[in-house]
């Protein structure tokens, strides 16, 4: 911790921001910068790692250490950064194409290892930087430059991958809700282990309005469920709707109908180890269910870099070899004499 007080301006670089006007990335970076300013740690303790894509230009716009890596490899580089310097607060900025396609393998293994980094996954369901090809999160039937007759693939659901990889933290936000995003980022930073925050983001050029059904002000209250740990799963303009578990499935009910009271509504437990309900919340989709936002899962689990550091210290205390010279001179050694060149040198 530090006594230095930061503002959002302290985390803005002098580089020109080259995102399109109206891009959802502006709101995301604003929320991240506000979060970092309030964390109470020195700026030099932050490292922002990215791959390739519009979202991956993030390090250029941050007044922190950063590394703009290659396509899909941000998770791998971030793993090395954190393992080499566990004191750093490491943030991975990636997109649905960068992390779900070529970076998919690195993505799931970062989560499986539970390395203490924060992943922010921008999901606009399109390849924006390369001009509008469908991505691994594009819906079946989506028409794009690379699928002019509609895709014949089912999309990845990022939260499902997190649960499948034994993830300890998953949250979902949306670019236009700055307050929600900042709140989630703060919780992600506090979490020990890999935190994954999926942010539904709007690409104004190649996929404009992809999340309009969710964000429409006239229907937003009925289509968004903002989860809070320890609080009932209520939504609607007057919090008159909620979720119950019936016949092994989630069900939307209305308080006051069919004898339903607020006591019947499920209470969110983000710290439940069993991921069954968390996965059900992740899978909720319009029109039958609202879309779940907030911290969906946050459970304690062994942290890779902490375990690795502890293991190294334990081995160092009991090891017989302490340096390379001792290693080279250990075991069976022999001396070669009678150098034919007459140099008189000996080999060991």
The answer to whether 244 and 253 have CB atoms below 8 angstroms apart is: yes
What is the model's pLDDT at position 150?
97
pLDDT at residue 298 tops 70? yes
Give the lowest-confidence range in 268-277, 284-293, 339-348: 339-348
What is the model's pLDDT at position 321?
86
Q: Tokens 């334990």: give the residue.
A: 314
Query: SS3 for 120-141, per residue?
Result: EEEECCCECCCCCECCCCCCCC
The token duo for 234 is: 């209520």
pLDDT in tens, 133-143: 999 999 999 99
Of 130, 117, 113, the C-alpha closest to 191 is: 117
Q: Give the 3-state secondary structure percentages of the chain, helix then strand then coil, rounded to 5.
A: 35, 20, 45
Torsion sign, CA atoms 198, 204, 208, 212: positive
Report the pLDDT averaged over residues 183-195: 98
Strands 224-227 and 291-298: parallel
CA distance 268 to 171: 13
pLDDT in tens, 144-171: 999 999 999 999 999 999 999 999 999 9
Strands 65-68 and 118-123: unpaired
The answer to whether 48 and 27 have CB atoms below 8 angstroms apart is: no
Mean pLDDT, rounded, of the chain: 94
Report residue 193's pLDDT band, with 50, 70 and 90 as the boundaries: very high
Report the pLDDT averaged over residues 23-32: 97
Report residue 4's pLDDT band, with 50, 70 and 90 as the boundaries: confident
DSSP code of 100? I
Report residue 242's pLDDT band, with 50, 70 and 90 as the boundaries: very high
Of 182, 203, 46, the C-alpha closest to 122 is: 203
End-to-end CA distance of the chain: 51
CA distance 228 to 242: 13
What is the model's pLDDT at position 340?
64
Report residue 326's pLDDT band, with 50, 70 and 90 as the boundaries: confident
Angle between helices 304-318 and 74-84 (to 10 degrees): 40
Percent of the chain residues past pLDDT 90, beyond the cut:
88
What is the model's pLDDT at position 345?
53
Report residue 250's pLDDT band, with 50, 70 and 90 as the boundaries: very high
Angle between helices 25-37 and 178-190 (to 10 degrees): 50
Largest CA distance in the chain: 102
| Element counts in the chain: helices (H) and strands (E) | 11, 11
Four-point Cα dihedral 188, 194, 199, 203, nearest 10: 130
Of 323, 340, 321, 341, the C-alpha closest to 331 is: 321
pLDDT at residue 348 tops 70? no
CA distance 278 to 269: 9
CA distance 333 to 87: 41
Contacts of 143 (CB under 8 A, 6+ apart): 149, 150
pLDDT at residue 190 tops 60? yes
Of 179, 198, 176, the C-alpha closest to 111 is: 198
pLDDT at residue 1 tops 60? no
Sheet with 169-174, strands from edge to edge, namely 65-68, 46-50, 89-95, 118-123, 195-200, 169-174, 291-298, 224-227
Contacts of 298 (CB under 8 A, 6+ apart): 168, 169, 171, 187, 191, 195, 229, 270, 271
The secondary element (H helix, E strand) that includes residue 161 is helix 158-164
Output Rg (C-alpha) for the chain, integer angstroms.
25
DSSP code of 347? B
């Amino acid at each position: 911790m530090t006594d230095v007080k930061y503002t959002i301006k302290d985390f803005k670089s002098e580089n020109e921001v080259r995102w399109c006007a109206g891009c959802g990335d502006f709101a995301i970076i604003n929320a991240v910068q506000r979060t970092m300013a309030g964390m109470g740690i020195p700026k030099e303790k932050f490292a922002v790692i990215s791959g390739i894509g519009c979202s991956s230009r993030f390090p250029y716009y941050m007044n922190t250490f950063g590394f703009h890596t290659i396509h899909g490899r941000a998770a791998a580089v971030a793993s090395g950064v954190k393992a080499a310097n566990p004191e750093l607060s490491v943030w991975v900025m990636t997109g649905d194409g960068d992390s779900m396609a070529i970076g998919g393998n690195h993505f799931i293994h970062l989560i499986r290892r539970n390395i203490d980094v924060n992943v922010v996954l921008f999901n606009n369901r399109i390849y924006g930087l390369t001009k509008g090809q469908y991505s691994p999160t594009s819906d079946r039937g989506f028409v794009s430059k690379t699928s002019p007759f509609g895709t014949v693939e089912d999309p990845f659901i990022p939260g499902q991958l997190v649960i499948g990889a034994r993830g300890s933290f998953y949250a979902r936000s949306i670019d236009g809700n700055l307050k929600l995003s900042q709140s989630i980022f703060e919780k992600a930073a506090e979490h020990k282990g890999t935190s994954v925050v999926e942010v539904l983001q709007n690409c104004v050029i190649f996929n404009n309005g992809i999340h309009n059904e969710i964000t429409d002000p006239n229907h937003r209250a009925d289509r968004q469920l903002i989860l809070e740990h320890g609080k009932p799963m209520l939504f609607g303009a007057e919090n008159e709707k909620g979720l119950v578990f019936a016949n092994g499935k989630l069900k939307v009910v209305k308080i006051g109908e069919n004898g339903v009271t607020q006591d019947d509504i499920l209470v969110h437990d983000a710290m439940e180890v069993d991921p069954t309900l968390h996965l059900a919340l992740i899978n909720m989709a319009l029109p039958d269910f609202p879309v779940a936002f907030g911290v969906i899962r946050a459970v304690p689990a062994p942290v890779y870099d902490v375990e690795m550091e502890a293991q190294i210290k334990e081995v160092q205390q009991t090891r017989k070899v302490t340096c390379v010279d001792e290693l080279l001179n250990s075991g069976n050694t022999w001396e070669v004499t009678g150098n034919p060149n007459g140099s008189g040198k000996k080999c060991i």
